[in-house]
Amino acid sequence: MPEFRFPVIGHGGDYNPDQWLDRPDVLEQDVALMREARCNLMSVGIFAWSALEPREGEYSFAWLRGVLDRLHAAGVSVLLATPSGARPAWMSRKYPEVLRVENGHRNFHGGRENHCYTSPVYRAFVTRMNTRLAGEFGAHPAVVGWHISNEYCGECHCELCQSAFRAWLKRKYQTLDSLNHAWWTAFWSKTFTDWEEIHSPEPNGETQLCGLTLDWRRFVSDQTVDFVKCETAPIRRIAPNLPVTINTMGFFYGLDYPSFADVVDFVGYDSYPMWGSKSDYDVALETSFTFDLVRGFLNKPWSLMECTPSQVNWHEICQLKRPGMHMLSCVQALAHGSDTAMMFQWRKSRGGPEKFHGAVVGHDMTNRTRTFKEVKATGELLETLSEIVHSETKSDVALIFDQANRWALDGAQGPRKDKDYFGVTFDHYRALSRAGVNVDVIDMEKPFDSYKLLVAPYLYMLKPGAAERLTAFVNGGGALVLTFFSGIVDENDLCFLGGAPGPLRSLAGVWAEETDALYDGQTHKMVMKPGNALGLSGAYTCGFLADLLHAETASVQAEYEGDYVSGTPCLTQNGNVWYIASRPEPRFLNDFYQALLPRAGVTPIVPSLPEGMIACRRTKDGRDYTFVLNFTGADAPVALPAGIDLAAGQPAAPNATLPKNGFAVIRTEQARG
DSSP string, 579-594: EE-EEE-HHHHHHHHH
Distance of CA 661 to the CA centre of its chain: 24
Task: Please count the other Cβ atoms lying within 10 Å of the Cβ belonging to residue 253.
Answer: 12
For the segment 358-368, the average pLDDT, to the nearest whole number, is 97
What is the rounded distance in angstroms from the CA atom of residue 592 to the CA atom of residue 598?
A: 11
Reported as a single tens digit per residue, the pLDDT across 271-319 is: 999 999 999 999 999 999 999 999 999 999 999 999 999 999 999 999 9
User: Is 306 in the active site?
Assistant: yes
| Residues 553-571 as b or e (16 or more Cβ within 10 Å = b) | ebebbbbbebeebeebbbb
Per residue in 391-447, pLDDT (tens digit) is 999 999 999 999 999 999 999 999 999 999 999 999 999 999 999 999 999 999 999
The beta strand positions in 84-154, using DSSP E, are 101-102, 105-106, 143-147
331 alpha carbon, distance to own chain's centre: 18
Give the residue ranges of DSSP H helices in 446-605.
466-475, 505-508, 586-599
Catalytic pick among 306, 374, 491, 559: 306
Query: Does 176 have pLDDT greater than 50?
Result: yes
Tell me phi and psi for residue 44, to 5 degrees: -125, 135
409 contact partners, CB below 8 Å, separation of at least 6: 419, 421, 458, 460, 461
Identify the pLDDT of residue 670: 61
DSSP reduced 3-state for 541: strand
**Catalytic residue from among 97, 151, 286, 491:** 151
pLDDT at 673 over 50: no
% of the chain exceeding 70 in pLDDT: 99
pLDDT, tens digit (0-9, with 9 covering 90-100), for 241-272 = 999 999 999 999 999 999 999 999 999 999 99
* Burial bucket for residue 440 (CB in 10 Å: 0-12, 13-18, 19+): buried
Inform me whether the pLDDT recorded for 175 exceeds 70.
Answer: yes
Contact of 144 with 78, CB cutoff 8 Å: yes
pLDDT tens-digit map of 139-150: 999 999 999 999
Regarding pTM above 0.85, the answer is yes
Say if residue 671's pLDDT is above 60.
Answer: no
Q: What is the pLDDT of residues 411-420, one digit of tens each?
A: 999 999 999 9
pLDDT band at 529 (very low <50, low <70, confident <90, very high): very high
Average pLDDT over residues 362-385: 98
Residue 668 near residue 642, CB atoms below 8 Å: yes
Determine the pLDDT at residue 562.
86
Q: Quick one: which of 376, 369, 294 has its CA closest to 339?
A: 294
Length of the chain: 673
Q: Confirm if 256 and 219 have CB atoms less than 8 A apart.
A: no
Report pLDDT for 139.
98
Look over the chain and give the mean of its residue pLDDT values, rounded to a whole number: 97
CA 41, CA 21: separation in Å to the nearest integer?
20
What is the bridge-based pairing of β-strands 338-343 and 439-442? unpaired
Residues 303 and 264: beta-carbon distance below 8 Å: no
User: 169-206 burial, b for 16+ CB within 10 Å, e for fewer?
Assistant: beeebeebeebbebbbbeeeebebeeeeebebbeeeee
pLDDT 10s digits, 642-665: 999 999 999 999 999 999 999 999
Q: How many CB atoms lie within 10 A of CB 324?
A: 16
Tens digits of residue pLDDT in 484-496: 999 999 999 999 9
The mean pLDDT of 456-478, rounded to a whole number, is 98
Residue 578: phi and psi, rounded to 5, are -115, 140
**Structural contact between residues 91 and 56, judged by C-beta atoms closer than 8 angstroms:** yes
- pLDDT exceeds 60 at position 672: no
Strand partners, 338: 302
* Residue 223, preceding peptide bond in cis (omega within 30° of 0): no
What is the tens place of the pLDDT at every residue in 587-623? 999 999 999 999 999 999 998 899 999 999 999 999 9
pLDDT value of residue 669: 82
